[in-house]
């Protein structure tokens, strides 16, 4: 949920204090239910530039009405073309994936329970909903380099 949108050459969108947007520079967003700055509603997707975990810029909003309240931001996925090297070339020169743990704020409940047990060298069985962080909860500390 939006907290504010500035009426400026570089319009700044601020999210509710407890809602990190989770976006990256170049991501695209669209808006719905924005009060006051109605030009944003249904205006299509627009690229953003991240300013912080709770704010991002969306380009020129100086000609829009004044933001009054409400509104939601929705990330719009963009089509990407992906190409791969032939298998022999890829095996000869592997490209390693480096995870971005900078966005990691704190462990989920399943992770907070499992990590100390795993670190103690004991087995653990856990049940949690999809998207709760189970995969990262059950990573063996030896498998992380």
| Domains: count for the chain | 2
120 Cβ neighbours under 8 A, 6+ residues apart: none
pLDDT range class, residue 21, cuts 50, 70, 90: confident
Helix ranges restricted to H, the chain: 87-92, 109-119, 134-137
Q: Which domain holds residue 24?
A: 2-76
- For residues 70 and 33, membership in a common domain is answered with yes
Q: How many residues does this entry show for the chain?
A: 145
Verify that 50 and 112 share a domain, yes or no: no
Q: Indicate the pLDDT class of residue 145, thresholds 50, 70 and 90.
A: very low
Structural domain includes residue 71: yes
Q: How sure is the predictor about 117, in pLDDT bands with cuts at 50, 70 and 90? A: confident
In a domain, 126, yes or no: yes
Terminal Cα-to-Cα distance of the chain (whole angstroms): 37
- Residue 47 is part of a domain; what is its CATH number? 2.40.30.180
Residue 17's SS3 state is: coil
């Amino acid at each position: 949920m939006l907290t504010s949108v500035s009426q400026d050459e570089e319009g700044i969108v601020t999210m509710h204090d407890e809602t990190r947007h989770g976006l990256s520079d170049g991501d695209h967003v669209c808006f719905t239910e924005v009060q006051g700055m109605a030009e944003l509603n249904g205006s299509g997707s627009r690229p953003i530039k991240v300013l912080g975990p709770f704010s991002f810029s969306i380009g020129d909003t100086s000609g829009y009405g004044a933001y009054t309240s409400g509104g939601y931001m929705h990330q719009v996925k963009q089509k990407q073309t992906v190409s791969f090297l032939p298998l022999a070339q890829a095996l000869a020169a592997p490209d390693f994936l480096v995870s971005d743990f900078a966005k990691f704020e704190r462990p989920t409940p399943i992770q907070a329970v499992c990590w100390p047990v795993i670190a103690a060298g004991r087995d653990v069985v856990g049940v949690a909903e999809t998207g709760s962080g189970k995969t990262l909860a059950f990573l063996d500390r030896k498998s992380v380099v």
